[in-house]
Each structure stands twice: as structure tokens, then as C-alpha cells.
Structure 1
Amino acid sequence: MAPNTQPVLANNTAPIEAKDSSHDSGVEDIESTVSSTQSLTDSIREHVYENGRRYHRKSQGKYALPSDETEQDRLDLSHAYYLEMLDGKLSLAAFNKDPANVLDCGTGTGIWALEFGDEHPGSKVVGIDLAPIQPDWVAPNVYFELDDLEKEWTFPEDHFDYIHSRNVGAGIKNWERYLRQMYKHCKPGGYVELSEHSYHNLYCDDGSMSDDSPFLLYIRTVSQSLEKMGMNPNLVLSDYKRLLADAGFVDIEAHNFKCPVGPWPREKKQRRLGAILGEISRTGFEAYGKAVMTNYGSLTEEQATEMIKECVKLVDKGTQHMYGQQWCLVARKPE
């Protein structure tokens, strides 16, 4: 297997041009054989409720996003977004045969693992997550386990042909250790793929986002709150490249995607991506911000709610042309 040498989208630094109308959504008309997963104890399934949302009890202090049905819907829509961004591809690593052993870190609802297992019937796919929100019945080559990725991994060394990790930045405190464990358990010649987005900054190419924008206030407050929680929200593409190299990986390919929030771009695909991400943001602002801002950022529930509402209103208006960045990196463990 070899990495895909052609980026799906160019690492584009050109400004995103807004279309004339900010209110056109741009959205077009958008079980296989199963086996039961291991039963879970009641304690593992325990949840707590705060700020009108449900959170997994055993994830507290490690992961601050909800685990309720609203969040599961957002995660599945986010998966659809990444498929759109990557032109339908589940991975930027290209395989000349099904990778035998695959690990999906922070599998969430398990949707990526299930689709990868369906697309690669010769692969055994293991999805790991803190919260038990995966389906009880899955394909025979897909397995889900509950574990903490920051604890010592119990998999065999040199085992996985491919390790996939997407949007776990809000739950990883020690990236050096995390990537060293990936390296330890990745097979020589195997690949890892990271996909992370910017937590500490939002961007605008045309000056339409004011310095006092609720968007900027929100992202700064969330970033400061994550720091107090022990996370590092300041990592950017160059940091992930360095961390992969320090862990021992080689042939690192990096792809940078601009991610507009709302259907304001002029170009058709960017407008569609913006429309999907705008829909994701309706619950995403709350998912990423509510718990950390109230538990670590010293905001009251009312203050956090008001800030989130202002951000959602701005997305609907489409007058501030804000975007984030998504970084996808593919790297190989030397033979």
C-alpha cells in the first residue's frame, strides 16, 4: 500500500470568494451480516445531565462533548461532510489491497469504521471510544471496544496496517505519547492518518468578520477553557507534522482544507460544504463550547447559551464570511 500522492483538494491558500447572495443554501437533493458486540456493564453506560445535554460519566475530565442523540446526529452529519470534502473517499491513504488490521481511534458512532469495513471486506476494523454510542449489531469484520486512548494500549506491537484518527483533539492531552503508541502498534510499512481542525482560531479572507465578532469571542473562550482542561488547542498543521516525525513516522503528506461555515462562498463545492458545516454548527457550537465554557471557562449557563445563540444567528445571516481549517496527514512507519 502507498499513500495517495495526489491531494483530493489542493492545499489552497487562495481567498474564498463570497457569492452575491448570502441566503441561498446551495444544498442539492441530498446491514449486512451482523454479530452482537460484547455486552457492557451498567456502570459503563452511566451518563450525567447538565446544561440540557447528556454526557458520558466516565468521560468527564477527558472529553467534554455530549453523548446524546443530538450529538450522535451531528457526528454522523460531520462524517458526511468529510466524505464531501474528500470527494467520497474514506481515506487519503491508497491501498493496493485491503489492510488486514485497521484501528479507528475515537470512533464515535462508529460510522467511519462500519463504512471502511464494508468497503474493505478483507480488513478487520477495530473502533475505540470512551463512550458506548456505537451500534449493538455490526458487520462481522467490525468490532467496537471501550477504552481510553491515553492509557497504555494493549494491542500487539507492530500489528495495525492502518490507524485512523479523526477529530480527537478535544480529548487528547498528551499528543507525544498518543503518537508514540500509534508508532509502537503500527506494522512496519503501515500507515497512520490524522485529521484535525483548528480549535484556537477562525479565519476570514475579505474583512467581513469584525474584531468583536461573536465567532472570535466564542473560539477564544473555548480555546482558553480547553487549555484549563489540559488540552492543547493551539496545534496547527506544522505541529502535527513535527509530532509525527518525532514519533518516527516518515513520508508525511499534509493536506490543508479551508472549511467555510455557512453557504456564503461563490464556488459551488465550497458553498455546498459551507451549507453542510453551517447545519453542523447549529448543535456544534453548543457541543464544543457549552460544557467547557461553564466548567472551565467561568461562564454561567446563561452566558454560554447567549454566546452560542449569537454565533448561530451569524451563520444564518451569512454576513461574516468565517471559515476554519481542517488538516489531514498521512504518514508511514518505516519498514
Structure 2
Amino acid sequence: MDGCLEASLSPLSIPEYVLGCSGRRMPLLGFGTAASPPVGSQLTKTAILQAIELGYRHFDTASLYGTEQPLGEAILEAIAVGLIKSRDELFITSKLWCSDAHGELVLPALQRSLKNLRLEYLDLYLIHWPVSSKPGIYEFPIKREDFLAMDFKAVWKAMEDCQRLGLTKSIGVSNFSCKKLGDILAFAKIPPAVNQVELNPLWQQKKLREFCKANGILLTAYAPLGAQGTIWGSNRVLECELLKEIAKQKGKTVAQICLRWAYEQGIGILVKSFNKDRMKSNLEIFNWSLSQEDVKKINDIPQSRLCSGQDYISKYGPFNTTQELWDGEI
């Protein structure tokens, strides 16, 4: 670890949201650790340590990302050098992969994640996608013949059991449509606290936002800046002329405009950068606001999804088309 991390730095305060199903306080701006293609454990660990130094306290990982282990190492090092006093100062999210999305495999999968992270509990555990795949075959992309329909009742009951055991403080989902959320809510004893989805000014998910708000579910945005640099991402968000115009008028970056817009909509945000200056810039969104006119202009931007979900479409699985995967929300 380089010597620039200092325990004396006072971290920026990030607003928090109280999750309905647990009362857990979740920082509304979190740091994502997914990278496609992967960047390696050491670079990931260094970025996480820099993020903790700057004031990030919410970290998002998944068994798929391969970043649970470096995140766990970074947490231990942050405590050792005095950046934080204990793990309890952090909010850690991880996700259940499709091959483990079977009732009897949920608990062992969570226990593996905890072992990788060297933690006793997660703050939030999410079902990564609303589809299962053949157990014991850990792969991405998933082979078309390996897709299976998820037994939502069995998987969600196992998620609830994980929360009751204290291995995760809250549970939720990712990439779920209004309909699929409704299916879970129909039988859930503990409702999902969070639905993590693609969301940015060019894909605002207005219907899903209304549904989640009405049902006490926090919508959290991945790809709030368009996921530039990933296999499926694009620079369309950061190159949007309207957003550039608003940024220039306000003396802000386009990224800051996007993040502030999401924050003002009551949306949780996950940002990712391996550049310390951009990490810091992404935090500087809480002491200014957009005008009503700016918000209206952003809300009127033509909409199109970046993450089609094509990797989860198969004639052998439950979703033969993207329309079926998203239940028409495309």
C-alpha cells in the first residue's frame, strides 16, 4: 500500500437512507468494484483504500466480480492503519450468482462470500439476476443450455433465513422488473429492501421508480454514468450534449450532474473509478443543487437502455426474449 493514506483525514459525510426491512442505515453514494475486463486484485484493493480515505463507506461487490477477496483485504488494512476503527463503520453489499440461486445453495453461497470478505456479516445481500443456472457450474457468460427458471419462493425464503441468522442485515434484488418485484412481494415475509438496476439520465426507469417508492423499496443505480469502459457500457451518458451544457453552466462535471440528478430523485448511487481525483469529484455532489429547469430538461431526455440483458436470454431458459426478461420495461 502506498503511504498517502492518513488516518488524520476527516471523511466527507454522505447522506444515508434507512432501509425499511431492517432499519439499517445505507450511505446513498457507494463505491462499485465491478470491472470488465477485470483489473486485478492489487489495483482493486488500492482503489478501495483510497476510497475509504476519501470518505466512501458503502462498497458493492458480488461473487461474480472476483473482488470480494481484495475488498476484504482492504477492510483489514484500513482498520490496521487507522482509516476506520472497525468494520461496523462500513456498509458492504454482495450478490448471489445464478448458479447458486437455488433454495438449498443460498446459505452456502453467502457463507463463501463472507469467507472471501473475511467478515461475519453483510449489510445487504442481493439476488444478482432473476434467473438460475445449473448448480455447480460457475460461468459467465452462462451457456444457453445451462439456464433454469428460478424458484422465487424457495430462493427468497432462503434469503430471509440468511437475514434471520444475522449473516446479512438486509436482503434485496438486482435487475428485477415491477412484475418480478410484485411476484416476490406477494409471498415475502421480509420484503426486498433494495432493487439495484441500471439507471442514469438516459435510462431513468420512471415506472420502476414509482413502483419501488410505493412499496418502500430503495432503487439503487448501477451504471449512473453509463458504465463506460465495460463490455456492455457506453460513453453516451457522459457525451450527452444536454448534460454537457448543464455542467458547463454550473461549473460542474457531467458526472457530477448525473450523480446529483439521481440523488435528487431519491435514488441510491454506485460509482466506480480507479482515478483518485475522479473518486473525490464524484463525492462532491451534496452541497449544491440542480434548478427545477435543469431537472425538467434531464427528465425529458429520450430514453434507451444500455444493458439489454441479452446474456440472460435463451430458448432453454425462462426468458426467450429481452421483453420477457424485463416484462416489457425496455
Q: TM-score, normalised by structure 2?
A: 0.31
Q: Which has the higher contact order (CA 8 A, sep 6+)?
A: 1
Choose between structure 1 and 2: higher strand proportion: 1
